[in-house]
Amino acid sequence: MAEIASLLTDDEKAQAVAELRGLLGDRLTTSLPIREAHGRDESWHPVVPPDAVAFATSTEEVSKIVRICARHRFPIIAFGTGTSLEGHISAPHGGLSLDLSRMNRILEVNAADLDVHLEAGVTRKTLNAWLRDKGLFFPIDPGADASLGGMAATRASGTNAVRYGTMRENVLNLTAVMADGSVVHTARRARKSAAGYDLTRLLVGSEGTLGIITELTLKLYGIPEAIASGVVSFPNFEGAIDAVIETIQSGLPVARIEFLDEVQVEACNRYSKLSLPVTPLLLVEFHGSEASVAEQAERFGAIAAGHGGGAFEWAVKAEERTRLWEARHNSLYAALALQPGKKGLISDVCVPISRLAEAIAGTKEDLRTSPLIAPIVGHVGDGNFHLIMLVDPDNAAEVAEAQRIHDRMVMRALSLDGTCTGEHGIGEGKVKFLEAEHGEGIAVMRAIKQALDPLNILNPGKLLPA
């Protein structure tokens, strides 16, 4: 692979920045606070600012920016909203943070075909607010109000994925600027296609290492006629997880099924002013007609009761439902508030649903003898869960302990035929596990990277092991 551009001299970098400034004027900045804000994500990974930040406004402009950077071998790190969690947007080799947040136009909605075409900087909440009075919604909901370009780039998912899939299933077409500045459209609007290599899915999850996504066509869904959410508490986590496994195996089309352990419940109670019993719980939601929602809820209630679940606490009104799901989406901030000043070593793994109990039990056992405070929360219907370990980054012993538990959690997931990340992605934080997960597949990934980005200017140092 090509040498990385950190080997550029200060003069060479200054030339790249000067040429970019000629194109962008005051939409190119070298201000330190702005650079730092673009080298910092929401995790514990250190801030590594880029040399400059550019605010692009069109695909054509992104193409020109990429051509300039390619000529100077100046790294480019695409930036959506900076909510990723594995050091994805840090700039270990310097270069340009290419901020797409000003590309925020919703370009076309085809209600008859249930799709929308938009620019990469539109955020998921903006899209859903805009769609609401059309009776439509886009279901993928990472806790943060992320950009849809960033969500495609990380193959994001969230609480609705158990019913509606992840970004992998919901992107129909991408417009992307490749490393040489050329512009490609990966597909048409057709719901399925057998025409050639699937470039859409190659770019989805590529974390800015293969191309810059500038526009997307996404699938939409009708807002369900009836929605019911509720909470069931369990005396122990085993009962809750067994209830999830039975729910999924029985084919119940639950729309959301989220697990919070007792530590996370306590955190959410304090942060979101709830008064849930401090025991493991499942937060569930059903979508459909009035009759089908009632039937699903009844079937789920029976399954939960069979595993020790208590009475269903229904959130009947829309405001109550929103309050519960907001508390769930804020669970990271609730966890961080348990020990102000500490950072969250946040990680996610995903395993086949039948192995979920083993995966969580192993981590719970590791935590039992650890001094760390570490809530567990998860999109368990997909076999996906998150661990948030609160650490003082300046306390070497604490960091080492968190890394020990983290590495054991990941290696356990791999041994259970799972993956080192179900949704957060690789960034820098999970690079060391990619080889263990993919083996020979890494060589194929390297060949793709070499073919599409021979100068290694797109987010160098991320995703693939050096």
**Residue window 417-446: x/- pattern of binding to ligand FAD, with contact defined by CB under 6 A:** ------xx----------------------
Q: Which of 16, 91, 156, 245 binds ligand FAD (CB under 6 A)?
A: 156
Rule CB under 6 A: is residue 344 a binding residue for ligand FAD?
A: no
Shortest Å distance, C-beta 79 to ligand FAD: 5
Rule CB under 6 A: is residue 216 a binding residue for ligand FAD?
A: no
Query: How far lies 121's CA from each of 81, 85, 216, in Å?
Result: 8, 18, 10
Query: How far lies 245's CA from each of 92, 204, 356, in Å?
Result: 41, 28, 8
Nearest to 213 by CA among 147, 166, 168: 147
- Here the tokens at position 416 are 């259970």
- Region 48-77 residues binding ligand FAD, contact defined as CB under 6 A: 77
Rule CB under 6 A: is residue 173 a binding residue for ligand FAD?
A: no
Question: Order of strands, edge to edge, in the sheet holding 28-29?
Answer: 28-29, 52-55, 96-99, 76-79
Rule CB under 6 A: is residue 213 a binding residue for ligand FAD?
A: yes
How many Å apart are CA 359 and CA 448, to the nearest integer? 32
- Region 257-316 residues binding ligand FAD, contact defined as CB under 6 A: none
Shortest Å distance, C-beta 140 to ligand FAD: 8
Question: Order of strands, edge to edge, in the sheet holding 376-379?
Answer: 313-315, 226-233, 281-288, 256-260, 376-379, 384-391, 343-350
How many Å apart are CA 364 and CA 367, to the nearest integer? 5
**Residue window 95-134: x/- pattern of binding to ligand FAD, with contact defined by CB under 6 A:** -----x-------------------x--------------
The residue number with the shortest CB distance to ligand FAD is: 150
Shortest Å distance, C-beta 148 to ligand FAD: 8
* Backbone phi, psi, residue 385, to 5°: -140, 160
Rule CB under 6 A: is residue 80 a binding residue for ligand FAD?
A: yes
Query: Which one, 148 or 304, has the nearer CB to ligand FAD?
Result: 148
Rule CB under 6 A: is residue 325 a binding residue for ligand FAD?
A: no
- Here the tokens at position 322 are 């929103």
* CB-count burial class (<10 Å; 0-12, 13-18, 19+) for 246: middle
Q: Are 140 and 152 in contact (CB under 8 A)?
A: no
b/e sequence 94-121, b meaning 16+ C-beta within 10 Å: bbbbbbbbebbeeeebeeeeebbbbbbb
Shortest Å distance, C-beta 369 to ligand FAD: 28
Interface region with ligand FAD, contact rule CB under 6 A, candidates 83-91, 178-186, 281-289, 409-417: 83-91
Rule CB under 6 A: is residue 456 a binding residue for ligand FAD?
A: no
Residues that bind ligand FAD (CB under 6 A): 41-42, 77-85, 88-89, 100, 120, 142-144, 146-147, 149-151, 153-154, 156-158, 207-208, 212-213, 332, 423-424, 459, 462
